[in-house]
């Protein structure tokens, strides 16, 4: 049987069902699934700040039964080197990257898969930060109310 290796890359911060859906779809298309997880230093270069550090993001992705190998992604140019090194026949990534890696088509089949709607790390971070802001606002309102009650007390 012709063994197929597929390689993909991503940050996978705050691992969510969008990530899992993609990785499950990818594993269904190959025998060996290799995931390049962006290191914290590489994310900084991309202007992304992760909540979960690289070592834990890599452990979480590796723990998924559909993932065979995790490798660190440290720079933009490494994809071509990895594809040759691991003899991958497919490179796949979500369609938020559509067209961005077409230059790899001379050595590998390049696929862009539809993203899962309605979930992303950015949205999760926004929700957490909004709920934190709401909590702060509620504490501030409670304190202001308590202060106004104190002001109303006639201290002699």
Place of tokens 């979960």: 52
Partners of 119 in the beta sheet?
A: none
CB of 123 to ligand CTP, least distance (A): 7
Distances (CA, A) of 9 to 147, 152, 154, 156: 53, 61, 66, 70
Are the beta carbons of 21 and 64 closer than 8 angstroms?
A: no
Binding mask 89-108 for ligand CTP (x = CB under 6 A): ----xx-x------------
Q: Does 79 bind ligand CTP (CB under 6 A)?
A: no
Binding mask 118-137 for ligand CTP (x = CB under 6 A): -xxxx---------------
Contacts of 1 (CB under 8 A, 6+ apart): none
Q: Which is nearer to ligand CTP, 99 or 152 (CB)?
A: 99
Binding residues (CB under 6 A) for ligand CTP: these are: 10-13, 18-19, 22, 93-94, 96, 115-116, 119-122
Q: Catalytic residue numbers?
A: 46, 48
């Amino acid at each position: 049987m012709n063994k197929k290796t597929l390689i993909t890359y991503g940050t996978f911060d705050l691992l969510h069902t969008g990530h899992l859906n993609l990785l499950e779809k990818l594993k269904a298309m190959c025998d060996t699934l290799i995931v390049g997880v962006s290191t914290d230093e590489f994310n900084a270069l991309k202007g992304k700040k992760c909540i979960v550090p690289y070592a834990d993001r890599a452990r979480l992705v590796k723990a998924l039964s559909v993932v065979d190998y995790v490798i660190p992604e440290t720079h933009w140019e490494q994809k071509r080197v990895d594809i040759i090194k691991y003899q991958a026949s497919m490179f796949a990534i979500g369609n938020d990257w559509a067209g961005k890696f077409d230059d790899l088509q001379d050595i590998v089949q390049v696929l862009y898969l539809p993203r899962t709607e309605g979930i992303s790390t950015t949205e999760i971070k926004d929700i957490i930060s909004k709920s934190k802001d709401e909590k702060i606002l509620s504490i501030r309102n409670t304190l202001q109310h308590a202060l106004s009650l104190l002001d109303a007390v006639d201290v002699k």
